[in-house]
C-alpha cells in the first residue's frame, strides 16, 4: 500500500522525518518499505502490510508506528462533529441491526441539499496513489480519503432510493440475505444471495453487500441531493465469507476481513461528512444515527516482565517496556512488581496474549539486539528410517548410472488412467485443480519419468537413464495412502562408444536396475515373474517378487502407451521401497576361501516354454554344498537348434572354503546336474545321452 510522507507528517508534529531513516525504521519494526517514489513532501512510500496489522493500513495508523520507531511524538488530528442543521437525522431514516454478532455498530449521518460533483479536487490532489484511483464522484472520493486516512471503510447511499418502512422513514436494516434475493452491485453484476451473505437492506430488499460493495440502484448519481453516509463495524468473518462466496475483493472487504477499529465509526463519519459538505455543500442533519448492537470490551492482557526476559533470552528493562507500549497507545498499569496490566487499543485486533506484547517490545527494541545463543546440547541425531531408505535408493541408482529426476505429483486423468491398476484403491482427484495436467495425484512416479523422457527426446536427447524416488498416491476406502517408490526409465542406448555398436535398452536393463537396487540394500536378489498388466508389453513384463510378495513391476512400456508419449521402446520399473526386505547389517563375516574353485559349462537344448528358473532349479536341487553359482553364459536360437527351442549354456561354479576340488568330483557333480536337467521334459544336454 502507498503512503504519502506529507500525510504521515500531519500526525508527527515538527519537521517531516528523513525518508531514508523512516524507511529503515519502519522495516525494522515490521512494516517493510518495499520502495519509495519522489522526494521531500511529495515522497510516497510503498509498504508491505502483513495480514495481522490492518491498523497499519492507513496514514494515521502507520504514523503511530513511525512515531514509536523514530522515538517521536504522535499527535492525533481531531475529527469534530460538522456544523449541523436543525432537522434530526433520526427523523429522516432508521437503522436496525438484526445480526449483532456480525455487526457490532452502525453509525450514519444524513446530508441534504448536496450538489454532486464529478470528483473532489482536494482528494484527488492528496491521493497517495493517483494511478490506482477511479474517481466517480466527490462523495466517493471523500469516503476513499477517510479510508486512507483512518482505515474506516464508508459507504454513501442516495437516501431517496431507499424503500421506506412502516413508519414512513427510509430504513437501513443489517441482516442476512434471504435465499434467492438478488442485488445488482456497483460493478453492474447481478448477485444471487443466500443467508450466508450479510447485507444492508432497506425496508424491502438488499441494497449493499455489508462491508464489500454497495448496490447500483441506491448509489450516488449526479442527480442525488440527499445522502446517507454509512460507517459501520462488521465482523471480519462475516465480510470474508460474503466476499469469498461471491468471489469479490474490494478495498473495504480487504480491511473488514482483517479487522477494523470498532471505535472509529463516528470519527470516520464526521471526517467524511466535513469533506462532503466542503465539496458539495448541503446541510448536515442533527446528530448521528448510532446503533451500538454489541459492546466490544477493550482487552486487558497481562505481561510478566520475568516471562519476557526468559522468553527472549535477553533483558529489556521494565521501564523501556512500559515506554514502548505507551508509545503504541497501550494502557499500562503495574499491578504487582514486574507485572503489567496492559489495555489493548481498540484498533489492535492482533494483540491477544502475552506473547503478542513481548513481540511489541522486541520488534521496537530490534531483533538485531538479540544475542546469538545455541540451545543446550541435545540427544544424538537420528533420521526417520524411511527417509534414510529413500536416500540410499537415490545413491544406489545414481551410482548405477541413472540421473535423478524430480517431477510433479500431479498428472492428468488421462495420463494416470493406464496405470491405475498399479496401485490398489482409486486415484485422488484434486477438487480445485489448476486444470490439466494437474488434476490427479499419480499412481506411479513412472508417469513423471515418461513426461521427462518426452521432454528430452523432443530436444534431441533420446539415450536416457532416469530415476525418481518419490511417492505414489491412492485413496483406499476413502483414506489417502502414500507409498514410497523408486521408479526407473531407460530409453535408447546406454553408454555409447565409437568402438562398438550399443544396443537399445531392453527388459534386462530394467530388471538389472531393479537387481542393482536390491543389491545396494544388501537384499537377496529379487525374482521376476511374468505378469500381464495393461501398461506393459505382454511377454516383456514382470512383477518383482521378494520375500514371497510382489514389491513392484518392470517391463517394456506397452506399445500404444509409448506411442502416446512419443517414445520408442521404453523400459520402466517401479519398486515399493518400503517392501524391499533389507537384512540387518552383517554381524560376522566369514573369511573368503583361499581355494580358487572351478567353473564348468553345461549346454542344454530346451523348449522355449522351459524358463531359466526351471533350469536353475534343476541344477541346484540336490547339488553338493560346493555349488556356488549358476549363471547363464550363452543363449542361442537359430541354425542347429529346432524351431521352438533354445540352446542355453549354463556356467556352474564350484568351490570349497576348505580344500582344492578334484577334477573327478567336479565332473561327477556336473554329470549329476546334467542328468537332473535331462529330467526336465523336452531337454537334451550336449555330451550326455
Q: Which of residues 394-413 bind other proteins (CB under 8 A)?
A: 394-395, 397-410
Least separation in angstroms between CB 31 and other proteins: 9
Using the rule CB under 8 A, is 362 a contact of other proteins?
A: yes
Applying CB under 8 A, which of residues 12, 200, 342, 358 lies at the interface with other proteins?
A: 358
Residue 667: which H helix or E strand, with range? helix 663-678
Length, in residues, of the chain: 689
Using the rule CB under 8 A, is 195 a contact of other proteins?
A: no
Q: Give the separation between CA 306 and CA 677, rounded to whole angstroms.
A: 86
* Only segment of 6-14, 495-503, 569-577, 649-657 that touches other proteins (CB under 8 A): 495-503
Using the rule CB under 8 A, is 477 a contact of other proteins?
A: no
Residue indicated by cell numbers 446517507: 228
Least separation in angstroms between CB 614 and other proteins: 33
Least separation in angstroms between CB 98 and other proteins: 21
* Only segment of 150-158, 450-458, 526-534, 621-629 that touches other proteins (CB under 8 A): 450-458
Instruction: Residue 37: count other Cβ atoms within 10 Å of its Cβ.
Output: 11
Using the rule CB under 8 A, is 178 a contact of other proteins?
A: no
Q: Give the separation between CA 23 and CA 17, rounded to whole angstroms.
A: 10
Using the rule CB under 8 A, is 371 a contact of other proteins?
A: yes
551, 576 contact by CB (below 8 A): yes
* Residue 671, φ and ψ in degrees, nearest 5: -65, -35
Buried b (16+ CB within 10 A) or exposed e, 600-618: bebbbbbeeebeeeebeeb
- Measured from the CB atom, the residue of 216 and 433 that comes closer to other proteins is 433
How far, in Å, are 201, 223, 282, 337 from residue 116 at the CA level? 24, 7, 10, 60
Interface of this chain with other proteins, residues 109 to 138, rule: CB under 8 A: none
CA atoms within 13 A of residue 673's CA, in its CB half-sphere: 29
Instruction: Spell out the SS3 assignment of 493-551.
Output: ECCCECCECCCECCHHHHHHHHHHHHHHCCCCCCEEEECCCCCEEEEEEEEEEECCEEE
- Measured from the CB atom, the residue of 168 and 435 that comes closer to other proteins is 435
Using the rule CB under 8 A, is 382 a contact of other proteins?
A: yes
63, 8 contact by CB (below 8 A): yes
Applying CB under 8 A, which of residues 67, 272, 441, 673 lies at the interface with other proteins?
A: 441
DSSP string over 30-49: T-EEEEEES-GGG-EEEEE-
Least separation in angstroms between CB 12 and other proteins: 21
Copy the grid coordinates of residue 352.
491477544
- Measured from the CB atom, the residue of 163 and 370 that comes closer to other proteins is 370
- Measured from the CB atom, the residue of 397 and 572 that comes closer to other proteins is 397
Q: Give the separation between CA 543 and CA 545, rounded to whole angstroms.
A: 6
Using the rule CB under 8 A, is 433 a contact of other proteins?
A: yes
How many residues touch other proteins (CB under 8 A)?
98
CA atoms within 13 A of residue 417's CA, in its CB half-sphere: 6
Cα 557 to chain centroid, rounded:
34
Least separation in angstroms between CB 327 and other proteins: 16
Q: For the window 8-47, what string marks contact with other proteins as x by the rule CB under 8 A?
A: -------------------xxxx-x---------------
* Only segment of 361-369, 546-554, 644-652, 664-672 that touches other proteins (CB under 8 A): 361-369
Continuous H helices in 184-304? 236-245, 251-258, 265-280
DSSP string over 454-478: HHHHHTT---EEEEEEEEEEEEETT
266, 231 contact by CB (below 8 A): yes
Continuous H helices in 565-611? none
- Measured from the CB atom, the residue of 278 and 398 that comes closer to other proteins is 398
Least separation in angstroms between CB 233 and other proteins: 17
Using the rule CB under 8 A, is 434 a contact of other proteins?
A: yes
Least separation in angstroms between CB 121 and other proteins: 34
Using the rule CB under 8 A, is 455 a contact of other proteins?
A: yes
Applying CB under 8 A, which of residues 180, 495, 592, 596 lies at the interface with other proteins?
A: 495
Interface of this chain with other proteins, residues 283 to 322, rule: CB under 8 A: 310-314
Least separation in angstroms between CB 373 and other proteins: 4
* Residue 499, φ and ψ in degrees, nearest 5: -75, -20
Question: Sign of the CA dihedral 136, 141, 142, 147?
Answer: positive
Considering only CA atoms, which of 192, 186, 187 is closest in space to residue 216? 186
Least separation in angstroms between CB 164 and other proteins: 35
Applying CB under 8 A, which of residues 464, 554, 674, 685 lies at the interface with other proteins?
A: 464
Interface of this chain with other proteins, residues 42 to 101, rule: CB under 8 A: 50-53
543, 553 contact by CB (below 8 A): yes
- Which value, to the nearest 10 degrees, does the dihedral of the CA atoms of residues 346, 351, 352, 358 take? -140
Using the rule CB under 8 A, is 465 a contact of other proteins?
A: yes
Least separation in angstroms between CB 574 and other proteins: 17
Copy the grid coordinates of residue 535.
501398461
- Measured from the CB atom, the residue of 30 and 526 that comes closer to other proteins is 30
Residue 564: which H helix or E strand, with range? helix 559-564
* Only segment of 125-133, 264-272, 477-485, 534-542 that touches other proteins (CB under 8 A): 477-485
Considering only CA atoms, which of 635, 636, 666, 662 is closest in space to residue 652? 666
Applying CB under 8 A, which of residues 222, 247, 319, 373 lies at the interface with other proteins?
A: 373
- Measured from the CB atom, the residue of 120 and 456 that comes closer to other proteins is 456
- Measured from the CB atom, the residue of 222 and 378 that comes closer to other proteins is 378
Q: Give the separation between CA 318 and CA 234, rounded to whole angstroms.
A: 37
Using the rule CB under 8 A, is 448 a contact of other proteins?
A: yes
Q: For the window 508-547, what string marks contact with other proteins as x by the rule CB under 8 A?
A: ----------------------------------------
* Only segment of 137-145, 441-449, 536-544, 633-641 that touches other proteins (CB under 8 A): 441-449
* Only segment of 116-124, 128-136, 377-385, 644-652 that touches other proteins (CB under 8 A): 377-385
Least separation in angstroms between CB 19 and other proteins: 18
Q: For the window 665-684, what string marks contact with other proteins as x by the rule CB under 8 A?
A: --------------------
Categorise residue 389: left if φ over 0, alpha if ψ from -120 to 50, beta otherwise: alpha
Applying CB under 8 A, which of residues 164, 363, 529, 651 lies at the interface with other proteins?
A: 363
* Residue 7, φ and ψ in degrees, nearest 5: -65, -45
Residue 200's beta-bridge partner residues? 174, 208
Interface of this chain with other proteins, residues 238 to 257, rule: CB under 8 A: 240-241, 244, 257
Using the rule CB under 8 A, is 476 a contact of other proteins?
A: no
> Three-class SS of residue 311?
helix
Interface of this chain with other proteins, residues 318 to 357, rule: CB under 8 A: 350, 353, 355-356
Least separation in angstroms between CB 361 and other proteins: 10
Amino acid at each position: 500500500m502507498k503512503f504519502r510522507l506529507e500525510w504521515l507528517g500531519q500526525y508527527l508534529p515538527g519537521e517531516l522525518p528523513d525518508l531514508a531513516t523512516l524507511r529503515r525504521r519502519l522495516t525494522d519494526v515490521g512494516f517493510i518499505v518495499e520502495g519509495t517514489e519522489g522526494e521531500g513532501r511529495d515522497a510516497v512510500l510503498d509498504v508491505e502490510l502483513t495480514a495481522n496489522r490492518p491498523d497499519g493500513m492507513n496514514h494515521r495508523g502507520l504514523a503511530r508506528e513511525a512515531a514509536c520507531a523514530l522515538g517521536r511524538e504522535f499527535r492525533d488530528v481531531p475529527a469534530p462533529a460538522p456544523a449541523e442543521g436543525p432537522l434530526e437525522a433520526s427523523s429522516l431514516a432508521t437503522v436496525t441491526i438484526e445480526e449483532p454478532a456480525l455487526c457490532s455498530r452502525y453509525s450514519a449521518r444524513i446530508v441534504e441539499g448536496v450538489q454532486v460533483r464529478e470528483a473532489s479536487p482536494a482528494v484527488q490532489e492528496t491521493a497517495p496513489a493517483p494511478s490506482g484511483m477511479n474517481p466517480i464522484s466527490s462523495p466517493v472520493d471523500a469516503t476513499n480519503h477517510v479510508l486512507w486516512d483512518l482505515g474506516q471503510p464508508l459507504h454513501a447511499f442516495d437516501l431517496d432510493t431507499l424503500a421506506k418502512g412502516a413508519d414512513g422513514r427510509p430504513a437501513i436494516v443489517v441482516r442476512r440475505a434471504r435465499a434467492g434475493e438478488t442485488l445488482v452491485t456497483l460493478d453492474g453484476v447481478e448477485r444471487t444471495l443466500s443467508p450466508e451473505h450479510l447485507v444492508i437492506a432497506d425496508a424491502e430488499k438488499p441494497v449493499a453487500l455489508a462491508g464489500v460493495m454497495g448496490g447500483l440502484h441506491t448509489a450516488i448519481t449526479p442527480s442525488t441531493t440527499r445522502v446517507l453516509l454509512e460507517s459501520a463495524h462488521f465482523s471480519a468473518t462475516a465480510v470474508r465469507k460474503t466476499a469469498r462466496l461471491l468471489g469479490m475483493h474490494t478495498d473495504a472487504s480487504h480491511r473488514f476481513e482483517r479487522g477494523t477499529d470498532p471505535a472509529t465509526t463516528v470519527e470516520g463519519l464526521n471526517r467524511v461528512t466535513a469533506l462532503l459538505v466542503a465539496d458539495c455543500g448541503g446541510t448536515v442533519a442533527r446528530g448521528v444515527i448510532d446503533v451500538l448492537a454489541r459492546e466490544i470490551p477493550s482487552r486487558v492482557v497481562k505481561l510478566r516482565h520475568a516471562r519476557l526476559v526468559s522468553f527472549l533470552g535477553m533483558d529489556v528493562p521494565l521501564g523501556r517496556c512500559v515506554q514502548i507500549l505507551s508509545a503504541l497507545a497501550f494502557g499500562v498499569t503495574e499491578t504487582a512488581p514486574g507485572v503489567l496490566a496492559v489495555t489493548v487499543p481498540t484498533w489492535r485486533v492482533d494483540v491477544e496474549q502475552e506473547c503478542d506484547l513481548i513481540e511489541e517490545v522486541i520488534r521496537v527494541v530490534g531483533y538485531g539486539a538479540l544475542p546469538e545463543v545455541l540451545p543446550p546440547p541435545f540427544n544424538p541425531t537420528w533420521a526417520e528410517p524411511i527417509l534414510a531408505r529413500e536416500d540410499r535408493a537415490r545413491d544406489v541408482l545414481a551410482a548405477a548410472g541413472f540421473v535423478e529426476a524430480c517431477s510433479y505429483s500431479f498428472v492428468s486423468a488421462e495420463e494416470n488412467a493406464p496405470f491405475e491398476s498399479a496401485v490398489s484403491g482409486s486415484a485422488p482427484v484434486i477438487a480445485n485443480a489448476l486444470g490439466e495436467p494437474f488434476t490427479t495425484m499419480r499412481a506411479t512416479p513412472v508417469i513423471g519419468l515418461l513426461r521427462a523422457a518426452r521432454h528430452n527426446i523432443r530436444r534431441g536427447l533420446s539415450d536416457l537413464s532416469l530415476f525418481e524416488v518419490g511417492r505414489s498416491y491412492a485413496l483406499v476406502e476413502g483414506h489417502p495412502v502414500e507409498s514410497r517408490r523408486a521408479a526407473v526409465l531407460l530409453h535408447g542406448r546406454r553408454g555409447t562408444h565409437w568402438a562398438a555398436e550399443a544396443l537399445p535398452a531392453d527388459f534386462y536393463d530394467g530388471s538389472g536396475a531393479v537387481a542393482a537396487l536390491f543389491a545396494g540394500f544388501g537384499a537377496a536378489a529379487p525374482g521376476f515373474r511374468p505378469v500381464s498388466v495393461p501398461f506393459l508389453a505382454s511377454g516383456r513384463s514382470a512383477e518383482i517378487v521378494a520375500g514371497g510378495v510382489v514389491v513392484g513391476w518392470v517391463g517394456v512400456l506397452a506399445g500404444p502407451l509409448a506411442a502416446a508419449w512419443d517414445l520408442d521402446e521404453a523400459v520402466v520399473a517401479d519398486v515399493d521401497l518400503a517392501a524391499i526386505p533389507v537384512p540387518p547389517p552383517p554381524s560376522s563375516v566369514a573369511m573368503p576361501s583361499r581355494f580358487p574353485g572351478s567353473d564348468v559349462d553345461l549346454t542344454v537344448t530346451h523348449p522355449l516354454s522351459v524358463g531359466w528358473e526351471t533350469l536353475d532349479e534343476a541344477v541346484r536341487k540336490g547339488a553338493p554344498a560346493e555349488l556356488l553359482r549358476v549363471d547363464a553364459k550363452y543363449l542361442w536360437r537359430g541354425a542347429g537348434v529346432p524351431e521352438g527351442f533354445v540352446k542355453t549354456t549354463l556356467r556352474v561354479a564350484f568351490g570349497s572354503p576348505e580344500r582344492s576340488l578334484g577334477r573327478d568330483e567336479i565332473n561327477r557333480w556336473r554329470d549329476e546336474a546334467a542328468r537332473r536337467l535331462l529330467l526336465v521334459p523336452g531337454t537334451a544336454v550336449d555330451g550326455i545321452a
